[in-house]
Structure 1
Amino acid sequence: MRKSILFLAGFAIYGVLMWYYLFHGANSALPVDLKGSAADPAMFMTDRELELSTDFSRIKDFLYFISVPLEWLIYLFVLGFGLSRWFRKASSGLTKFSIVHTGVYVLLLSFASWVLTFPLKYYSFTVSKSYHISVQSFHSWMRDSLVDFWISWLLTTVMVAVMYWLIRKNEKKWWLYAWMLSIPFTIFMYFIQPVVIDPLYNDFYPLKDQVLKEKILKIADKADIPAENVYEVNMSQKTNALNAYVNGIGSNLRIVLWDTTLNKLTDNQVLFVMAHEMGHYVMNHLYWNLISSVILSFLGLWLGNMLYRKWIEKYGKSWGIKGVGDLAALPVLLLIFSLLSFAVSPVENAVSRKAERDADLYAIEMTKNPKAAVGAFQELATVSLSEVNPPKIVKWFLYGHPTMLERLHFLDSFEAIKTKETKKKQ
């Protein structure tokens, strides 16, 4: 109980400090030399939009930095108050099949976590609604949340069942075998994501605007991309935000545009966005993401195994855990993986920002229309209420893309930079 009080007190102090930093202490002032440029939000946002973008972004950032340690506290709560032992007991007497034991245990743990985090998630939803970013009904939002829950439960059950079977077979090398099995599983998930999982949330269909579609396919042909179609998705039923992306691998690779993007951007701006997504394909970013995922999973499982064994050895008895192969130790493993994922996220984001910068460069060289590129990001920032120059800690932990300030300044200065480079070569 004493430790629980200390943890809660520490969490409360952390929350207050993070709130103060984000809303009062963080410096996100625009550099003096960029005032009046295309990167200056005052040049394309109204005073009210500037105020809303700052408030909305800081609230969402604060919710993220609260939700992560809250997840850790939940795992510790489940362990410290004996809930994990109770989950194990409740699931073990149902049947002789271990996969059912695992499924029921994961269901109980997932449901407990879902209930405890629901208030924060619901508040995040209401914030998006109040700032007119989300237009999704509560019923639709709950449907998506439940789809998330059951997909996560199914995948987690399979992975946990395999991991604990391996642990019981070989306590020392289970992590290596788990990593080897994770490679085909990761590839499989990359392959089915666009055609099986994504359609569970939204309707995808070929781009309706045939003229724009021909222009996009012309760029694809110029880039030697064997694209036969471009997809749009009806996100306007849920949000006013803009987005486009490329996901999947092999024959299941898809280039996707949200219909909100089509509604808000001009054709030239859309072509820049599409050229950016094609840049990811041309530079093999999806495959590099896959490779990095495999490498990080190796390091994560290796380090996670060492921490897991030490924590079970030190705290297992007080938590009522019988050993590393005890299913009741799952919260320990999930806590360790969550901590490692959070710790490595700044590095992952830095690599991702470099890839996005390269894709921007590819797109601007392909379309040769800096004005459309700048206009696209200005519209994206305005509609999505994106903070143009977020605090450093937010950029490190949350931004897999360059900040709007960085992107707009880069694209606005592109012609000047190219002219300077040409003169140097001469």
Structure 2
Amino acid sequence: MKKTVLSSIVVYIVFSVVFCLYIFNWADTTIPSGYEGSASDPATFMNEKELLISEEFSKIKNALYFLSTPYEWLLLFILLSVGLSKKFQDWAKGTVRFRPLQVFIYLFWITLFTTVLSFPFKLFGYNVSKDYGISVQPFNGWMKDYMLDFWINYFLTGLIVLVLYGLMRKSPKRWWLYGWLLSIPFTLFLTFIQPVFIDPLYNDFYPLKDKELEEKILSVADKAGIPAEHVYEVNMSEKTKAMNAYVTGIGDNSRIVLWDTTLNKLEDDEVLFIMAHEMGHYVKKHVFFGVVSYTLVSLVGFYLIHKLMNIIIRRHGHRFNIHDPKEVATIPLFFLLLSVLSFLFAPISNTVSRAHELQADTYAVELTKNPEAAVGSFQQLTKSNLSEVNPPFIVKLFRYTHPPMVERIHYLDSYELRESEK
């Protein structure tokens, strides 16, 4: 196992070097010749310094993502391979007799292990955002959010693990099916409570303060058939200079949310387009579709994890000193398989998401009839967020839930031409 661990570390280092070369030297991010000089060409709305900073920032963030994800896999593999997972399990059993507490004690130690060793990546990402003027959040505020993430994820993960491993003990062959069935109401529950109870733990949410703008939004919302109470403003200017807007929740808990930075930097017509875009998600039920599709995909995921865990423990369990998938010590293996499968599925889910975003763009420009405001809003978003206008293919495949800005701006810029040709 020592040789296997060393080999894994060497593979990770080689991968990191090759991928950094791809991101920083080999990948082509130039604007297609047909777009040069158009509204989608960043050279037409960004100066030379902004272009350079945007390119540098995007490359660093992309490299950080693709290096941190396999690094987390490596940590989980090390937990299994060197016997730490088994030792944490024995330690928890020796501490208390009550099994649920054993699970939470064990989970605390492996969560602490992975969190501490992953912290340099998180800290580097925070510092990069600060250095490039995206984040304005003080370090103590960032650490507060980081610790809040730790405890929320820890307790939610503990509940999930407790239920799943309880099902494994009672039904080794069918636990994956029962776990999937239970995940449906749990997913719906989280989707309902997130916008109301979890999101406000991080930021302040309140109705729009600008009443004149509110009246304009109410008019657009009325055309879309959306109740006005689904529009919220969130105080993000104390943390970031970036802009954003999103739709979250389902049913009566659905919320269309605008960052105050978006309100501060965009003209009213541009804000109305952004709002119309988010209304498009609401009208076309993209959040609901996302929950349903996630539920169906998770069924396949549960089944694959069940099969793969059995195969791995049967063939290699003796190397980990683990002989039964039902042992709590297999949790790192469960998380590892879940993360790898999620990563491999990302290109498919991102493709669907990009299609939804294009539908929302189309809905918004047809609702507002103002392609100039649409183009202007995306140009300003690109500048404020230091977005990469035309990302490398692999980055787009695995990271981009939205179409690249070069595509979105070009689509909106040519809207009037397409309409006139109909």
- Give per-residue Cα distances to partners, 1:341-398, cap 9 Å, x unaligned: 0000000000000000000000000000010000000000001111100101000000
Instruction: Give 1:336 shift.
Output: 0.5
Q: Report the 3-state secondary structure (helix = DSSP H, G, I; strand = E; otherwise coil) of the residue aligned with 1:133.
A: coil
Moved more, 360-369 or 98-107: 98-107
Say whether the 8 Å CA contact 1:213–1:230 is kept in structure 2: no
Inter-partner Cα distance in structure 2 for 1:40 and 1:306 = 48
Give yes or no for contact 1:275–1:363 (8 Å, CA) kept in 2.
yes
Determine the C-alpha separation between the residues in 1 that align with 2:169 and 2:89.
Answer: 16
1:74 is aligned to 75
Residues 111, 154 of structure 2: 8 Å contact kept: yes
2:222 counterpart of 1:256: no
Q: Which runs of 5+ in 2 are unaligned?
A: none
Offset at residue 226 of structure 1 (A): 2.3
CA distance in 2, matches of 1:61, 1:215: 38
Q: Which residue of 2 aligns with 1:277?
A: 278
Corresponding position of 1:176: 177
Contact map agreement 1:134 1:239 (CA 8 A) in 2 = yes
Distance 1:250 1:137 in 2: 36
Q: Secondary structure at the match of 1:237?
A: coil
What is the rounded CA distance, in whole Å, between the counterparts of 2:247 and 2:5 in structure 1?
Answer: 44
Is the 2:305–2:337 Cα contact (8 Å) retained in structure 1?
yes
Contact 1:233 1:258 in 2 (8 A): yes
Whole-angstrom distance in 2 between the partners of 1:356 and 1:370: 16
Q: How does 1:240-251 map to 2 (within 5 A)?
A: 240-251=241-252
Alignment partner, residue 334 of structure 1: 335
CA distance in 1, matches of 2:410, 2:377: 13
Alpha-carbon separation, structure 2, partners of 1:164 and 1:31: 51
Please give the per-residue CA displacement for 1:10-66, whole angstroms capped at 9, x wherever unaligned.
111100100000000001111111111000000000000000111000100000000
SS at match of 2:95: coil
Q: Which amino acid aligns with 1:186?
A: T
Whether the 8 Å contact between 1:195 and 1:252 is mirrored in structure 2 is yes
Q: Secondary structure at the match of 2:233?
A: strand
Q: Which residue of 2 aligns with 1:92?
A: 93
C-alpha distance in structure 2 between counterparts of 1:370 and 1:274, whole Å: 14
Query: 2:305 is aligned with what amino acid?
Result: G
Pairs aligned (count): 421
Q: Name the residue aligned to 1:289.
A: 290
* Aligned-pair Cα RMSD in Å: 0.8
Q: How far apart in 2 are the matches of 1:195 and 1:159?
A: 21
Deviation larger for 312-321 or 157-166: 312-321
Measured in 2, the distance between the counterparts of 1:82 and 1:95 equals 21
Give the Å deviation of 1:92. Answer: 1.2
Contact 1:233 1:256 in 2 (8 A): yes
1:349 alignment partner in structure 2: 350
Distance 1:229 1:16 in 2: 46
The residue number in structure 2 matching 1:54 is: 55
What is the rounded CA distance, in whole Å, between the counterparts of 1:171 and 1:241 in structure 2? Answer: 48
**How many percent identity over aligned positions?**
50
CA distance in 2, matches of 1:201, 1:228: 21
User: Does 1:151 find its partner at 2:152?
Assistant: yes
1:322 Cα deviation (Å)? 3.0
Contact 2:230–2:254 at 8 Å: present in 1 too?
no
What is the DSSP-based 3-state SS (H/G/I as helix, E as strand, rest coil) of the residue aligned with 1:135? coil
Query: Is 1:301 paired with 2:302?
Result: yes
Deviation at 1:229, TM superposition (A): 4.9
Secondary structure, aligned partner of 2:237: helix
Does the 8 Å CA contact 1:206/1:229 hold for their aligned counterparts? no
SS of alignment partner, residue 192 of structure 2: helix
**1:17-416, aligned counterparts within 5 Å?**
17-416=18-417
CA distance in 1: counterparts of 2:218 and 2:398, whole angstroms: 35
* C-alpha displacement of 1:316: 1.0
Q: Is the 8 A contact 1:23 1:58 kept in 2?
A: yes
| 1:93 positional shift | 2.2
1:333 CA displacement: 0.8
Structure 1 Cα separation of the partners of residues 55 and 148 of structure 2: 31
- In the TM superposition, what whole-angstrom CA distance separates every residue of 1:149-171 from its partner, at most 9, and x where no partner exists? 00100010000000000000111
List, as ranges, runs of 4+ consecutive aligned residues in structure 1 with deviation greater than 3 Å.
none
Q: Matched residues in 2 for 1:337 and 1:349: separation?
A: 17
Normalised TM-score (structure 2): 0.99
Instruction: Give the distance between the partners of 2:263 and 2:280, measured in 1 at CA.
Output: 19
In structure 2, how many angstroms separate the alpha carbons of the residues matched to 1:198 and 1:320? 41
TM superposition score normalised by structure 1: 0.98
- Give the secondary structure class of the aligned counterpart of 1:27: coil
* Matched-pair contact (CA < 8 Å) for 1:217–1:228: no
Q: What secondary structure sits across from 1:245 in the alignment?
A: strand
Provide Cα deviations, 1:196-227, integer angstroms capped at 9, x if missing partner: 10001001111100111111111111111123
Distance in 2 between the 1:65 and 1:175 partners?
30
